[in-house]
Amino acid sequence: MYIKSIVLEGFKSYAQRTEIKDFDPLFNAITGLNGSGKSNILDSICFVLGINNLTQVRASNLQDLVYKNGQAGITKATVSINFDNSNKSQSPLGFEANDEITVTRQVVVGGRSKYLINGVNAANSRVQDLFCSVGLNVNNPHFLIMQILAMIEEAAGTRMYECKKIAVQKTIEKKEFKLQSIQTVLNEEISPTLQKLKEERASYLEYQKLVREIEHLSRFCVAYQFVLAEETKMSSTATLKGMQSNIEKFQESRDEIEKKVKQLNEHIAEMEKQKDKEIGGRLRALEAALSESQRVNTKARSALDLKKQNLRREEVKYNELVTHMQKDSKALLSKEKEVKNLEKELNVLLEESEKDAHALAAAQQHFNAVSAGLSSNKDGEEASLAGQMMICKNEISKAVTEAKQAEMKLNYAQKELKAKETEVKKVDEGYKKDQKTFEAVEKMKITLEKQINELNYSDLANAKALEAVAGGKLYNIIVDTEVTGKKLLEKGELKHRYTIIPLNKISARCVQEDIVKLAQSLAGHANLHLALSLIVYDSELQKAMEFVFGTTLVCNNMDNAKKVTFDKRIMTRSVTLDGDVFDPQGTLHGGNCLFYSYNTNNIVCASSQAAPVLSKLQEVKDVEIELKKKESELAAVENELASLKMVAESTLLLDSVNCEETLKKTEESKMKAEKKYKELENKIKNAEAECLKERKNAEQKLENAKKKSDTSSKKIKDMQQEVKALVLELEELKQEQVSYKQQITAAEEAIKSYQDQVDAMVAEVAKTEESVEGAQKELAKQKKVIELHDNAIKDKSAEMVKYREQNNELQLKIKELEHNITKCQQETADATAKVDKMLKEYKWIASDKPLFGQPNTAYDFKSSNPKEASQKLQKLQEHKEKLGRNVNMRAMNMLSDAEERYNDLMKKKRIVENDKIKILAVIEELDRKKKQTLDIAWKKVNEDFGSIFSTLLPGARAVLAASKTHNVFVGMEFRVALGNTWKENLTELSGGQRSLVALSLILAMLLFRPAPVYILDEVDAALDLSHTQNIGQMLQTHFKHSQFIVVSLKDGMFNNANVLYKTRFVDGVSTIARYSQIRNRKNELAHKKDEKIRKILKEKNNL
C-alpha cells in the first residue's frame, strides 16, 4: 500500500484546491525555497494519519491548520490521500476488496474535525485501526529516536497489541468497578429489601388468618341479628291492634268536647260584638292617634339624634383640624427659620467659595509667574523687578499730577454748592403751598366718594341687555364639581327648584373673535359688544360665564341687532340695550318682555331717586379733573425740586468729597509707590534667593488655596441639598396649611348649619311629646270602661279554656298512640326489610337458617354469648384495620421479583468474573509471545543497524542495548563507538552523526518489517554532500519495499528520487510542480558510460 495522490484545500499555505498526483511507489523528493510549503505537505500526511501532538506539525490547535486561521474567508481545511491497495499482502484489515482507499480529514473553524473513508463518515478509532494494522501509527514517536523500544515494537507488529491490551485493561478496571457496584447494590439494597419483604410476608400471612377469624364471627353475629329481626316482626302485629282500639275511644271523647267549645266560642263572640258596638271604635281611634303621635315623636327624636351626632362629629373634626393646623404652623415657622438660617449660611459659603476660587486663580497665576522668573507687583500682576520699578516711577509722577487737579476741582465745587443751596430754599417754599392745596382737593374727593357709596349707585346702561341675555340662567347655581351639586341637592334642603352648573362638566361655547370683529365692522365698534366682555368675573368662573354670556351679542339699537343677527356670515343671537332679543331662527322678543319686572311706576320712581345721585356724580367728576391738574402741577414741582436737590446735594457734594478722597488716595499711592520702589531695589540685590523663597511661598499658597476651594465646594453642595430638601418640606407644609384653613372654614359652616337644625328640631320634639302624653291619658280612660266588659268575657273564656285543655290532653294521647303505631309499623317494616335485605346480602342464611340457635352448632347462641362475640368481632376488625395500614398486600409478588433480580445479578457477576479470568489468561499468553517476537525483532534490527551504520560511517560501530536499569523489554538505548571509544550519550555526537544513527535505525527496521510509507523531513540537513549522496543512492538502489517521501534542499538527495516535486510561494499561496527524473537519470548514466569508454580509448591511444 502506498500513496498515489494528495489533495489539499485550505490547509496551511495551500488556500486553493491543490492536487499532488502520481507519487512514485518507491522514492519521491520535495524541494523548494524556505517558506514555500515543502513541510506543509508532510504535515498534511501526518494530519490525515491522525497525529495527536499538533506541535509536531507546528500548530497549537486545529484552527491553526486552516489557511490564515480562517481570517481570509476560508473556514475549513481538507486533506484527502488516495492509497494504492493493489498489493493485498500489505492491505489493511477489512479493506482487502478495495484496490484504492481514500482517507479524508476535514477541520472547520470553531468546530470539530471529521474523517471519511471512501467518502463515508468514519470514527477516529476506525481510522487509527486502519493505519495501525499496516504499521502506520503516526502517534508512535518515529521522530524521537530516544523512544527506541516503541519503534522496535512497531516494527515487530506488537505495538497495536499493546494499544489494545491497554484498552482491555481499562475495560477490566471499569468492569471491576461495575462488579463492586453490583456487590454494593446486593449488600445495601437487594439483601435488606429481601429481608424486609420476608418480614412483610409473615405479617401478610398473619393478616390472612385474622381475616378468616373475622369472617367466622361475622357470620355468627349476622345470624343472631337475623333471628332478632324475625322475632320483632312477629311480636309487633298484636301490639298494633290494641293501640288502634284505644285511639278510637279517645277520638269520640274529643268530638263531644269540641262541640261544647264551639258553643262557648259563639257566646263569647256575641259578647265581643256587643262590646265593640259600644266602645270599640272609640278605642281604636285613640290607639291610632297615640300610635301616630308616637311615630311622629320617634321620627323627630331620631332626626334630632342624627343631627346631634353629625354636630358632634363636625365639632370633633373641627377641633382635630385646629390642633393639626397649630402643630403644622409651629413646624412651618421652625422650618422657615431653619431655611433662612441655612440660606444665610449658604450665601456666606458661596461668598467664601467665590473668594476661594479667586484666591486659587490668583495663586495659580502667581505660581506660574514666579516659575517663569517674575514677581508680583502691588496689584497682584506679575512682572520683572525692573519693570515694576519703572511702573512705580510712573505711578509717583501720576499721583502728583492727580493731586493738583483734585485741589482745583474741590475749590470750584465748593463755590457752586453755595449758589445751589440758595436756589433750593426759594423753590421749597412754593412746593409747600402746592402740597397744602393738593391735600384739600384729596379730602374733598374722599368725602364725595363716601356720599356716592352711601347712595349705592351703579351704571345700569347694560343691565337690561345682560338680564335678557342670561334669561332663566341668571338664577343658576355654580358649583366646582358634579359631586358638590349632588350633595347640595340631597342635603342642602333647597326650598325652590334650581339649576346647578358644575364647572368641571359644563361645555362652554363662545362666539369666535373674527365673527365679533365682522359684526362690529357692520354695526360700528362702539355700537356692538360681546355680552361676555361687559361683565366682570373671577377667572375660575370663566367656563360658566362663557356658558351664559358667551354666545350673544349686545347692540345699541334694533337696526344693528337685526343687521347682525340675520347676516349669513354671522347668524348669532343678539340683544339690544332695551332688552329686545333677536334670534337667527326668526323669533323676536321685545316690549314688556317676560324677562323683566319693570313697569312705568318703577321707572318714574327710579328716575326721581337717580337725580341726586347724578348731580353728586357730576361733582365728583369735576373734583377729579381739578385733582388731576393739581397732581400734574405737584409732580412738576417735585421733579424740579428733586433735580435741584440732586444737583445741589449729590453732584456738588459728591464732587467735593471725591476731590478730597482723590487727594488722600494720591498721597497714599505716592507713598506706597516710593516704598515699593525701595523694596524692589532690595529685591534686585538679593534676586536669586528672593526668587527661590517667593517660589516656595507661591507653591504653598497654591496648595492651601486648592484645599480651601475643594473644602468650600463640598460644603456648598451638601448645604444646597439640605436647603432643597427643607424648601420642599416647607412647600408641603404651606399646602397643608391652606388645606386645613379650607377644611376648618367648611367645618365651621357645617357646625353652624347643624346647630340651627338641632335647635329647630328640639322645639319640634317637645311639641310631639306633648301630643303623645295627651293621647295616652285619653286611652287610659277608655280602657277602664272596657275592663268591665272584659271580666264577663273572661269567665266564659276560662270555661272554654278548661274544655280546650281536656281536648288537648286527648289530642296528645291520640298523637302519642299514633306515634307508637307508626313506630310499631316502622319497626315491623324495618324488621321485614332487614330480613329481606339480609337474605339477599348473605346467601348462606337460606341454607344455614335451620341451624340458627341449635345446640352444638356454629350458631349456638347459648354456648357462645352474641354480645361477647360482637365485641370480639369489633376488636378483631380494629386490629385488622391497624394491620391493613402497615401490611404490604403485594409482599408475595415483590418478594419473588426481588429474589429473581438477586439471582440475575449473581449470575451476571459470575459471568463477568469468569470473563475477567479468561481475558487475563489470554493477556498473559500474548505477553509471553510478545516477548518472543520482540526478542527476535531486536536481534535482527540490532544486526542490521550496526551493519548499515558502519557502511554509512566507516570505522564506526553502533548497537541497540538494554538500558542500564532495565532489560530490553522495558527500555533500549543507543551505544555508538567511534574507533575504539564508546559514547555514553548521543549528545556527545555531532549533528550529522546523530542523523546517521537515526537513519540507520529507520533503515534497519525497514529491512525487518517495512511500513508502507516513510516520511523524511530534511534528515540530511546536518550531513555533508558525500553522506547525503550515499543515503540517496542507498534508498534508490537497495530499498524496494516501501514508499519514501523525502523533503530535502540538497541535490545529492533529491537527484536520486524517481519523482521530484518543487514548491513555490506565489501571492501568499503555495503551489507545486511535478518532475519525473527516471529518464534524465538514464541519460546521465549513459553519458557517464560514454565518458568512461572515451577515457579508456584515450588511454589506449596514449599507450
pTM: 0.34
Listed in order, the ranges of the chain carrying CATH 3.40.50.300 are 1-136+1011-1089
Q: Is the pLDDT of residue 143 over 50?
A: no
Confidence class for position 83, pLDDT limits 50, 70, 90: very high
Among 309-323, 686-700, 884-898, the range scoring the smallest mean pLDDT is: 884-898
Q: Is the pLDDT of residue 519 over 80?
A: yes
Question: What pLDDT, on a 0 to 100 scale, did the predictor assign at position 113?
Answer: 86
For 72, 143, 908, 963, 1018, the CA distances from 146, given in Å and listed in that order, are 40, 9, 46, 11, 19
CA distance linking residue 303 with residue 758, whole number of Å: 9
Q: Residue 799: name the closest of 346, 432, 268, 166 by CA.
A: 268
Q: Which fold has domain 1-136+1011-1089?
A: Rossmann fold (3.40.50)
Q: Is the pLDDT of residue 550 over 80?
A: yes
- Collect contacts of 621-629 with beta carbons under 8 A, ≥24 apart: 623/441, 623/444, 623/445, 623/448, 624/445, 626/441, 627/438, 627/441, 627/442, 627/445
Contacts of 575 (CB under 8 A, 6+ apart): 465, 468, 469, 531, 552, 553, 554, 555, 561, 581, 582
Contacts of 413 (CB under 8 A, 6+ apart): 652, 655, 656, 659
Among 421-435, 888-902, 1011-1025, top mean pLDDT goes to 1011-1025
Residues forming beta bridges with residue 107, ordered by sequence position: 77, 113
Mean pLDDT of 941-952: 79
Q: Is the pLDDT of residue 1040 over 80?
A: no
Contacts of 810 (CB under 8 A, 6+ apart): 250, 253, 254, 257
The 10s digit of each residue's pLDDT in 381-392 is 545 555 565 666
For 421, 842, 855, 930, the CA distances from 213, given in Å and listed in that order, are 146, 17, 21, 78
Give phi and psi for 569, each to the nearest 5.
Answer: -80, -20
Q: Is the pLDDT of residue 309 over 90?
A: no
- List the 972-978 sheet strands across, edge first: 956-962, 972-978, 981-983
Q: Is the pLDDT of residue 966 over 70?
A: no
Mean pLDDT of 345-370: 77
- 908 vs 372, more confident: 908
Mean pLDDT of 547-575: 90
Question: What pLDDT, on a 0 to 100 scale, did the predictor assign at position 114?
Answer: 92
Confidence class for position 141, pLDDT limits 50, 70, 90: very low
- The packing angle between helices 991-1008 and 891-952, to 10°, is 120
Cβ–Cβ under 8 Å, residues 760 and 271: no
CA distance linking residue 1040 with residue 1034, whole number of Å: 10
The 10s digit of each residue's pLDDT in 268-292 is 777 777 666 656 566 677 777 778 8
The 10s digit of each residue's pLDDT in 169-182 is 777 777 777 777 77
Among 427-441, 577-591, 799-813, the range scoring the smallest mean pLDDT is: 427-441
Question: What pLDDT, on a 0 to 100 scale, did the predictor assign at position 80?
Answer: 95
Confidence class for position 144, pLDDT limits 50, 70, 90: very low
Q: What angle do CA 21, 27, 30 make, to 5 degrees?
A: 60
Torsion (CA) 360, 361, 362, 365 in degrees, nearest 10: 120
Confidence class for position 683, pLDDT limits 50, 70, 90: low
User: Alpha-carbon torsion 541, 544, 545, 550, what sign?
Assistant: positive
For residue 703, the one-letter residue type is E
Mean pLDDT of 353-370: 76
Confidence class for position 146, pLDDT limits 50, 70, 90: very low
Among 62-71, 179-188, 331-340, 892-901, top mean pLDDT goes to 62-71
Half-sphere exposure of 132 (CA within 13 A, CB side): 18
Question: What pLDDT, on a 0 to 100 scale, did the predictor assign at position 578?
Answer: 86
- 1005 vs 573, more confident: 573
Cβ–Cβ under 8 Å, residues 434 and 637: yes
Question: What pLDDT, on a 0 to 100 scale, did the predictor assign at position 189?
Answer: 73
Among 621-635, 727-741, 742-756, 921-935, the range scoring the smallest mean pLDDT is: 621-635
Greatest C-alpha distance within the chain:
202
What average pLDDT does the structure give for the chain?
Answer: 76
CA distance linking residue 617 with residue 614, whole number of Å: 5
Question: What pLDDT, on a 0 to 100 scale, did the predictor assign at position 598?
Answer: 39
Q: Is the pLDDT of residue 636 over 70?
A: no
Question: What pLDDT, on a 0 to 100 scale, did the predictor assign at position 6?
Answer: 94
Question: What pLDDT, on a 0 to 100 scale, did the predictor assign at position 396?
Answer: 63
Mean pLDDT of 24-47: 88
Q: Please report which residue ranges of 842-865 form alpha helices under DSSP H.
A: 844-848
Cβ–Cβ under 8 Å, residues 67 and 11: yes
Q: Is the pLDDT of residue 610 over 50?
A: no
Question: What pLDDT, on a 0 to 100 scale, did the predictor assign at position 595?
Answer: 39
Torsion (CA) 692, 693, 698, 701 in degrees, nearest 10: 150
**DSSP conformational letter for 92:** P
Question: What pLDDT, on a 0 to 100 scale, did the predictor assign at position 395?
Answer: 66
The 10s digit of each residue's pLDDT in 737-775 is 888 788 888 888 888 888 888 888 888 888 888 887 887
Q: Cell match 473668594: residue?
A: 355
- Collect contacts of 177-182 with beta carbons under 8 A, ≥24 apart: 178/912, 179/909, 179/912, 179/913, 182/905, 182/908, 182/909
DSSP state string for 116-173: EETTEEE-HHHHHHHHHTTT--TTS-TT-TT-HHHHHHHHHT-HHHHHHHHHHHHHHH
Q: Residue 991: name the closest of 1015, 1013, 1020 by CA.
A: 1020
Contacts of 434 (CB under 8 A, 6+ apart): 630, 633, 634, 637
CA distance linking residue 59 with residue 57, whole number of Å: 6
